[in-house]
Chain A
Amino acid sequence: MTATLSEPAAVGEVPTFDVTLRIRRFTPETHGDEAYWQEFTIQAHGTDRLLDALHKAKWDVDGSLSFRRSCAHGVCGSDAMRINGRNRLACKTLLKDLNPDKPITVEPIKGLPVIKDLIVDMEPFFASYREIMPFLVSESQKPTKERLQSAEQRERFDDTTKCILCAACTSSCPVFWTDGQYFGPAAIVNAHRFIFDSRDDAGAQRLEILNDKEGVWRCRTIFNCTEACPRGIEVTKAIQEVKRAMVTRAY
């Protein structure tokens, strides 16, 4: 057992415990072209996130350990990584919610080229995003005031507006792992966000783009994406809705 709770904490005290991180490292400048595992055992508090533990490892043990992060509370999308085999945000994963009896494995998200440690090249991910026309296209003349939209029309695409482009969904998708050309769930989610927006006029064009052989039909309804989404977006459902729209042309 590598992580144990210390003495029972007094009421209101935050218990501390040791935790071991087993991190997949890749540092071609110093350790050659092979990735390797490194373990860090650090002391954590009951409210600590995995990100706090990574920071302790970096700040107190090995400054070369590299990972992206920014907001530290699950809204910026910088720190998606594979934690005990599941894609999650390090800043939204509390250590106490992971099994403390075993080392916590931390790896870069899959399917994108690893550059250094947990940092991957996000460019292919953003390239797919850019391809689906992720912006409102309105051909009608703009009113001087706001366009009207009913609360129900607004609700229709609410779920997919939550996307933070962290790539947790796309890099959890087995289709994407084997076929990097596949648009991937995140791009489809962002297409959904506009296809079902009553103010948008480019739904047909986006459906055309996603009708491609690397488009929505590559989705095998595996639900990994839905499980991975740190924003709770029903990703698989959104993809299904896009597929249905393609068949029925109703959106």
Chain B
Amino acid sequence: MQIHQYDVVIVGAGGAGMRAALESSSRVRTAVISKLYPTRSHTGAAQGGMCAALANVEEDNWEWHTFDTVKGGDYLVDQDAAEIMAKEAIQAVIDLEHMGLPFNRTPEGKIDQRRFGGHTAEHGKAPVRRACYAADRTGHMILQTLYQQCVARDVEFFNEFYVLDVLLDTDLRDGTVAEGEEVAVSGVVAYDLATGETHVFQAKSVVFATGGAGRIFKTTSNAHTLTGDGMALALRAGLPLEDMEFFQFHPTGLAGLGILLSEAARGEGAILRNSEGERFMERYAPTIKDLAPRDMVARAMANEVREGRGCGPHKDYVLLDLTHLEPAHIDAKLPDITEFARTYLGVEPYTEPVPVYPTAHYAMGGIPTDIDARALRNNTDVVRGLFAAGEVACVSVHGANRLGTNSLLDINVFGKRAGIAAAEYAATAEFVPLPESPADAVVGQLEAIRSRASGERVADLRAALQQTMDANAQVFRTAESLTQALADVKALQARYAEVHVQDKSRQFNLDLLEAVELGFLLDLAEVVVTGALAREESRGGHFREDFPARDDEKFMRHTMAYRHGDTVTLDYKPVVVTRYEPMERKY
């Protein structure tokens, strides 16, 4: 076992982690630990854009952006945080341009902007061009640009290191530590994938930037590696997870595959059609039609299929029609996603509509933080030195449904804030002593799996989990379906106690890695389903057929899920309301 010491340790090297690293590394001694090479992170798969009210092509302002974010999130957004995000968006885009990001340009040479779902002028009157973009590879450009800057500044990376424990000075796991009592982080334990060695990183500040957990579902736009590691580690350490029942299903995944086709397609004019050729979004969102927020479009699509107006031999998808767009325009603005359609479905988007269906895309919930990315251990107390930013965190700027482009914005705004806050805290704080034998728990957990001679197979359990989550906890949910999902997850957790791997080696034991990841997925699925079952209303991405209306009286509050011992318990936290009283959500 090796022990390292850094002022700040950042876990995860996607957009949020590297944005934090750029701030932190210029101030204090910083290390970034990532289970992937930084440029493999899933930020690179983001396509359409990053919204900021630059007003480069038409009138816009950050207050409209704030309103759209709050309304898009079905009023579960903390409005103080949304306002910060919308205001700081403008500088965040300029920062990226100064770092070299190759944005598309207007004829005057300014950053070009385009339309995106739910982003409007004058509080919902009409779509507005707010998304700054680089073709349909904006996330790729952000990831590359941030990595380039990390290279320029010699940021220290530990690549293909997998963090498996967060060390606190107080054991929070039984839920008995009183409110107000001080709790601090002392570091993390990581596993070097290349060698199988454990490394302990003592740190004054730890920033979680580990991304999402889309792999709890079968049909997902998320990478295989998005297994909610940071969320699950926090949960296991006794911290709460906020609003985990809110999962975004992106409307336009390639049918049957889940690969993302950006909302930018509809921003550029593409239209969704059912088997009758009807532009059905006109019925669901008469004002902004295909550019309604994702939860509404995904539900509309699922509803068309359910009512028999789906396309294809099994009538199980709808069509994204780009055929009326000029091929040159498609090539200039949407080159990658049209190539995905050609490569994976053999469909030529110039002339044929593309089969699409909702795909699990984004966790609105995560580790609760304040506006400086400081992680909370209950409704009010921060864990000293612990931070979270990006999809792993819940600030909450996305509420019950994230607007398109606001994730690339989130990672930049709150990644930057996390980096600054973590470094500033570390500059004055002392190291917290490590516990005795800090790596024992991790080593014990790994060796238990590695040494088990026979038992359950990772792939079987994971497939069963993803199957039940797709069937029972997707776009439409009921008490019955969620009860089934919960029972299935619990049964799988019991089987997971006997999980075993075939690969017994030390070097690059990815069999073992997948087994650990599966444990995280199961824990998170339980939280998602438990929260969804208790939330007897429909709001944003969480739709209960047995409770189809939003219920502000009972449920305009954040879910705070804890795992004490083997049970998930729920508490609630008020929503921060500043300017906008909840209204009916119509588009």
Interface presence of B119 (CB below 8 A): no
Q: Contact at B148–A136, with CB atoms within 8 Å?
A: yes
Nearest chain A CB to B412 CB, angstrom units: 15
Interface SS, A side:
loop
Contacts of B508 in A (CB 8 A): 66, 115-117, 119
Contacts of B506 in A (CB 8 A): 29
Interface presence of A203 (CB below 8 A): no
Interface presence of B69 (CB below 8 A): no
A135 in complex: contacting residue of B149, B224, B225, B457, CB < 8 Å = B149
Q: Contact at A135–B44, with CB atoms within 8 Å?
A: no
Q: Contact at A59–B344, with CB atoms within 8 Å?
A: no
Q: Contact at B502–A62, with CB atoms within 8 Å?
A: yes
Query: In chain A, residues 79-101, which have Cβ atoms closer than 8 Å to a Cβ of chain B?
Result: 92, 94
Q: From known contacts A63-B502, A154-B102, infer whether A78 and B36 are also in contact, taking CB-CB under 8 Å.
A: yes
Could you list 30 A-B pairs, sorted by A, with CB under 8 Å?
A: A12-B314, A27-B505, A28-B507, A29-B505, A59-B458, A60-B459, A63-B502, A64-B503, A66-B511, A68-B40, A69-B224, A70-B40, A71-B42, A71-B44, A71-B45, A72-B223, A72-B259, A76-B36, A92-B343, A94-B343, A115-B507, A116-B505, A133-B152, A135-B149, A136-B100, A146-B103, A151-B104, A161-B102, A161-B134, A194-B100
A13 to B504 Cα, complex, angstroms: 39
Contacts of A154 in B (CB 8 A): 102-105
A110 to B98 Cα, complex, angstroms: 37
Q: From known contacts A64-B502, A75-B140, A162-B137, infer whether A200 and B100 are also in contact, taking CB-CB under 8 Å.
A: yes
Mark B residues whose CB is within 8 Å of A: 36-37, 39-42, 44-45, 93-94, 97-100, 102-111, 134, 137, 140-141, 144, 148-149, 151-152, 194, 223-225, 256-257, 259, 312-314, 336, 340, 343-345, 457-459, 501-511
For the A-B complex with A47-B344, A72-B259 known, give 18 more contacts whose Cβ atoms are closer than 8 Å.
A29-B505, A29-B506, A59-B458, A63-B501, A66-B511, A70-B224, A71-B45, A76-B40, A76-B41, A94-B344, A116-B505, A135-B99, A135-B100, A136-B99, A146-B97, A150-B105, A161-B102, A164-B44
Nearest chain A CB to B462 CB, angstrom units: 9
Q: Contact at A47–B256, with CB atoms within 8 Å?
A: yes
A60 to B37 Cα, complex, angstroms: 27
Query: In chain A, residues 42-56, which have Cβ atoms closer than 8 Å to a Cβ of chain B?
Result: 47, 49
Q: Contact at A157–B102, with CB atoms within 8 Å?
A: yes
Q: Contact at A76–B44, with CB atoms within 8 Å?
A: yes
Q: Contact at B141–A134, with CB atoms within 8 Å?
A: no
Q: From known contacts A135-B100, A135-B148, infer whether A161 and B141 are also in contact, taking CB-CB under 8 Å.
A: yes
Nearest chain A CB to B531 CB, angstrom units: 28
Interface presence of A158 (CB below 8 A): yes
B313 in complex: contacting residue of A13, A62, A69, A142, CB < 8 Å = A13
A1-12 interface mask toward B, CB cutoff 8 Å, 1 = contact, 0 = none?
000000000011
Contacts of A30 in B (CB 8 A): 504-505
Interface presence of A220 (CB below 8 A): no
Q: From known contacts A12-B313, A151-B107, infer whether A73 and B344 are also in contact, taking CB-CB under 8 Å.
A: yes
For B506, give the chain A residue with the smallest CB separation.
Answer: A29
Interface presence of A122 (CB below 8 A): yes
Contacts of A122 in B (CB 8 A): 37
Q: Contact at A58–B511, with CB atoms within 8 Å?
A: yes
Q: Contact at A116–B109, with CB atoms within 8 Å?
A: no
Contacts of A58 in B (CB 8 A): 511
Nearest chain A CB to B45 CB, angstrom units: 5
A63 in complex: contacting residue of B44, B105, B149, B511, CB < 8 Å = B511
A164 to B336 Cα, complex, angstroms: 13
For A162, give the chain B residue with the smallest CB separation.
Answer: B137
Mark A residues whose CB is within 8 Å of B: 11-13, 27-30, 47, 49, 58-60, 62-64, 66-78, 92, 94, 115-117, 119, 122, 126, 129-130, 133-136, 138, 142, 144-151, 153-154, 157-158, 161-165, 194, 197, 199-200
Nearest chain A CB to B254 CB, angstrom units: 9
Contacts of A138 in B (CB 8 A): 98, 100
Nearest chain B CB to A158 CB, angstrom units: 7
Q: Contact at A73–B45, with CB atoms within 8 Å?
A: yes
Nearest chain B CB to A86 CB, angstrom units: 16
Nearest chain A CB to B112 CB, angstrom units: 8
Q: Contact at A76–B45, with CB atoms within 8 Å?
A: yes
Q: Contact at B39–A164, with CB atoms within 8 Å?
A: yes
For B90, give the chain A residue with the smallest CB separation.
Answer: A145
Nearest chain B CB to A13 CB, angstrom units: 7
Nearest chain B CB to A201 CB, angstrom units: 11
Contacts of B152 in A (CB 8 A): 133, 135
A145 to B104 Cα, complex, angstroms: 15
For B149, give the chain A residue with the smallest CB separation.
Answer: A135
Contacts of A199 in B (CB 8 A): 100
Nearest chain B CB to A148 CB, angstrom units: 4
Q: Contact at A115–B345, with CB atoms within 8 Å?
A: no
A78 to B152 Cα, complex, angstroms: 23
A71 to B111 Cα, complex, angstroms: 28
Contacts of A194 in B (CB 8 A): 100
Contacts of B312 in A (CB 8 A): 12
B40 in complex: contacting residue of A47, A78, A129, A150, CB < 8 Å = A78
Q: Contact at B224–A146, with CB atoms within 8 Å?
A: no
Q: Contact at B148–A134, with CB atoms within 8 Å?
A: yes
Contacts of B457 in A (CB 8 A): 59
A70 in complex: contacting residue of B108, B223, B340, B509, CB < 8 Å = B223
A126 to B40 Cα, complex, angstroms: 13
A199 to B312 Cα, complex, angstroms: 49
Nearest chain B CB to A164 CB, angstrom units: 7
Nearest chain A CB to B135 CB, angstrom units: 8
Contacts of A73 in B (CB 8 A): 45, 259, 340, 344
Taking each of B100, B108, B501, B502, which has the highest tally of chain A beta carbons within 10 Å of its own beta carbon?
Answer: B100
A116 in complex: contacting residue of B108, B140, B223, B507, CB < 8 Å = B507
A136 to B108 Cα, complex, angstroms: 22
Contacts of A68 in B (CB 8 A): 40
Taking each of B111, B345, B510, which has the highest tally of chain A beta carbons within 10 Å of its own beta carbon?
Answer: B510
Q: Contact at A76–B42, with CB atoms within 8 Å?
A: yes
Q: Contact at B511–A64, with CB atoms within 8 Å?
A: yes
Q: Contact at A148–B109, with CB atoms within 8 Å?
A: yes
A29 in complex: contacting residue of B93, B259, B507, CB < 8 Å = B507
A63 to B314 Cα, complex, angstroms: 35
Contacts of B340 in A (CB 8 A): 73-74
For B139, give the chain A residue with the smallest CB separation.
Answer: A75
Q: Contact at A146–B94, with CB atoms within 8 Å?
A: yes
Q: From known contacts A75-B140, A76-B42, A115-B508, infer whether A11 and B110 are also in contact, taking CB-CB under 8 Å.
A: no
